[in-house]
Amino acid sequence: MELPILRIRAERVWADALAAAGLSSAATLLQSAYSNDLMDPYLIGTLSGAMAALAAAVLLLGLSALVGPQSYLAAFFGALVPGALTALAAFKLGPRQSLTFGIALTLSLQGVASLLSYLAAAESGLPLLPMLLGTTQYASEEALRALTVVVALAWATAQLVYKEVSSLEYPEGFPRSFAIVEEKAALKAVLISAASSSAVVSCCGVLPFLGLIGGVVGRRLSPPGSGKALVVAFVTSYLVMVTTDFVANSVETPYGYLPVGAFLSLIGGLALAALLVKSGGT
């Protein structure tokens, strides 16, 4: 009787580690590329794209679209497309202007996702709450294997390009003095972040602030341009994720355990409030 319980918990810890690695590496790259501590992987359209794709799949295929590999594939590619478009904007317009593009795309897709989710819920009588609230509870072992491959490749690639991407944090013109093309560096950062965060979103849904927290800590505690930033970011995000998941898994309601995404939202909101107070609101 103990073995299945241990196996389930091991899968949750596995999923927590993958979510932390995927989102922290994405956030670290994006924060460096955009020179902004508040840059989050969800700002390049991945989350709203995943939600829109899932809602559309339910409308077209029924509730069967939420079961099995097709749900992960729909969410992954739905998230990857806007991320890739933002990467293209970064290449064509540069990192600063592409941020506006990414936010505009995110808001537009969120509106589409909300409308499609409403129609899908009315059609099926089952709102898409697990994806909206965020949880590692429902990720299958097959999905976690696929997530492992994508996150491992993205994390390794992030290590290779981080020094180049981190040069974008310096004053304009500095990267080019070292033969670094800013648009190409931004393109790499957004593409890697899109792939990594899309994979996490497809399996775990909304895990707000997880990557942002890790990225800020990793960059602040590491030498400029050092790949150690990604390691510190991962460790920070993983500690936050596994602790929060433990707390969420300890609070049972008549509807099941609370989603970890709700706790992460609370932690992130308090952290942002503390940051604003410390900085005097600027």
The pLDDT, as a whole number, for residue 153 is 94
Which pLDDT belongs to residue 117?
64
Q: What is the per-residue pLDDT across 18-67, written as a single tens digit (0 to 9) for each?
A: 999 999 999 999 888 888 887 888 888 888 888 888 888 887 887 777 77
For the chain, the structural domain boundaries read 2-278
C-alpha 101/C-alpha 190 separation (Å) is 12
pLDDT at 114 over 60: no
pLDDT (0 to 100) of residue 226 = 82
Phi, psi of 136 (to 5 degrees): -95, 5
3/198: higher pLDDT: 198
Find out whether 155 and 25 touch, Cβ atoms under 8 Å. Answer: yes
Question: How many Å apart are CA 217 and CA 213, to the nearest integer?
Answer: 6
Residue 123: band (very low, low, confident or very high) from pLDDT cuts 50, 70, 90: low
**Do the strands 252-253 and 256-257 form a parallel or antiparallel pair, or are they unpaired?**
antiparallel
Do 33 and 190 form a contact (C-beta atoms < 8 A)? yes
pTM, entire model: 0.74
Contacts (Cβ under 8 Å, ≥6 apart) of 150: 22, 195, 196, 199
Instruction: Give the whole-number percent of the chain exceeding pLDDT 90.
Output: 15
User: What is the reported pLDDT for 115?
Assistant: 61
Query: Percentage of the chain with pLDDT > 70?
Result: 75
Q: What is the CATH topology of the domain spanning 2-278? A: ABC transporter involved in vitamin B12 uptake, BtuC (1.10.3470)
pLDDT value, residue 111? 59
pLDDT in tens, 166-178: 877 665 655 555 5
pLDDT by residue (tens digit) across 231-260? 999 999 999 898 888 887 777 665 566 678
Higher pLDDT, 96 or 91: 91
Provide CB contacts within 8 A for 35, sequence distance 6+.
168, 169
Closest by CA position to 31, among listed 265, 275, 206, 209: 209
How far apart are alpha carbons 5 and 50 in whole angstroms? Answer: 30
Q: Is the pLDDT of residue 148 over 90?
A: yes
**What is the pLDDT at residue 263?**
75
pLDDT of residue 174: 53
